[in-house]
Amino acid sequence: MGAIATFDYGAWSAAYPEFSNIDQWQAASFWALAGLYHNNTGTGPVADEAQQALLMGLLTAHIAYSRVGTDDNPSPASQGVAGRVSSASMGVVSVSTDLQGMPGTAAFYSTSSYGLAYWAATAAYRTMNYRAYQGRRFCGRW
């Protein structure tokens, strides 16, 4: 049985003070959006409520960074940049991004340090759960 984490703006903003530019309503909407990516319904694989809250907080920070940015850094998406920065130069500014070399949805999470931390923390939950065949069991008489 999975855990359900509820959004606590005070705890989230204390853990991520670089997002003081995001108000409580915006952060709550990013938390709800994070619930689309990470199962927060009580049926997911994370059984510990504190761990569930940490993972949801990381994912909320990733979405907040992707959408709005931090106090010091605007969102890369707001500047027309998508993907992981693969190279950058300073004279006559040049930035190259790519999403290659990463399997599946890892590319989405690689666009911020928060997303990469979430991806690494959830590695154990992305493995196959094998259940051995128990055979048929019949009840009653033949």
A 10 A CB-CB count for 82 gives 13
How does pLDDT run across 71-112, given as a tens digit for each residue? 776 655 555 455 556 566 667 666 666 656 666 677 788 888
CA distances from 59 to 53, 75, 82, 116, 124 (A): 10, 15, 17, 10, 16
How confident is residue 52, by pLDDT bands cut at 50, 70 and 90?
Answer: very high
Return the pLDDT at 58: 97
- Three-state DSSP class for 3? coil
Which pLDDT score is estimated for 70? 79
For the stretch 20-39, pLDDT in tens is 999 999 999 999 999 999 99
Where along the chain do its domains lie?
9-126
